[in-house]
Amino acid sequence: MHCVFEHLERASLATLPTALEAGPVLEGGVRLWIKRDDLTGLGGGGNKARKLEFLCGEALARGAKALVTVGAAQSNHCRMTAAAGAKLGIEVHLVLAGDKPERASGNQLLSTLFGAQLHFTGAGESHWGELEIASEALTEQLAADGLAPYAIPVGGSTAVGALGYALAFGELLEQFEQANISPTALVFTSSSGGTHAGLLAGRALAMAAGQVVPEVVAIGVAKGVNGGLPDVAEMANEVVGLLRATDPEGQGSKDGVSAADVEVDTRWIGDDYAVPTIEGDAAISWAARRGGWLLDRTYSGKGMSGMLGLASEGRFTEGDDVVFVHTGGWPALFSPHGTPLASD
Ligand SMILES: Cc1ncc(COP(=O)(O)O)c(C=O)c1O
Counting from 1 in the atom list of ligand 1, the atom nearest the Cα of 197 is 10
Nearest CA to ligand 1 atom 3: 327
- 3-state SS, residue 159: helix
pTM to 2 decimal places: 0.96
Distance 65 CA to ligand 1 centre (A): 26
Angle CA(51)–CA(57)–CA(58) in degrees, nearest 5?
100
- CATH architecture entry for 2-47+157-343: 3-Layer(aba) Sandwich (3.40)
Mutation probe of ligand 1 site: the residue of 189, 216, 330, 333 with most atoms within 8 A of C-beta? 189
**Strand stretches in the chain, DSSP E:** 2-5, 8-11, 20-26, 30-35, 66-71, 91-96, 117-120, 150-152, 185-190, 215-220, 263-265, 321-325
Query: Per-residue b/e over 276-291, b at no fewer than 16 CB within 10 Å?
Result: bbebbbebbebbbeee
Distance 191 CA to ligand 1 centre (A): 6
- 3-state SS, residue 336: coil
2-47+157-343 and 49-156 agree in CATH topology: yes
Q: Where do the structural domains in the chain lie, given as residue ranges?
A: 2-47+157-343, 49-156
66 CB-contact burial (10 Å; exposed 0-12 / middle 13-18 / buried 19+): buried
Say what the pLDDT of residue 250 is: 53
Say what the pLDDT of residue 227 is: 81
> Which CATH fold would you assign to the domain 49-156?
Rossmann fold (3.40.50)
Distance 249 CA to ligand 1 centre (A): 33
Residues of the chain below pLDDT 50: 1-4, 252, 344
Distance 220 CA to ligand 1 centre (A): 10
Kindly name the residue from 75, 135, 190, 192 that is annotated as catalytic: 75
Reported as a single tens digit per residue, the pLDDT across 304-334 is: 999 999 999 999 999 999 999 999 999 999 9
Query: Would you mind telling me the total number of residues written for the chain in this entry?
Result: 344
Ligand 1 first shell, C-beta below 6 A: 46-47, 76-77, 155, 157, 189-196, 299-300, 327-329
Say what the pLDDT of residue 16 is: 98
Mutation probe of ligand 1 site: the residue of 76, 200, 239 with most atoms within 8 A of C-beta? 76
Say what the pLDDT of residue 224 is: 79
Q: Is 135 a catalytic residue?
A: no
Say what the pLDDT of residue 249 is: 57
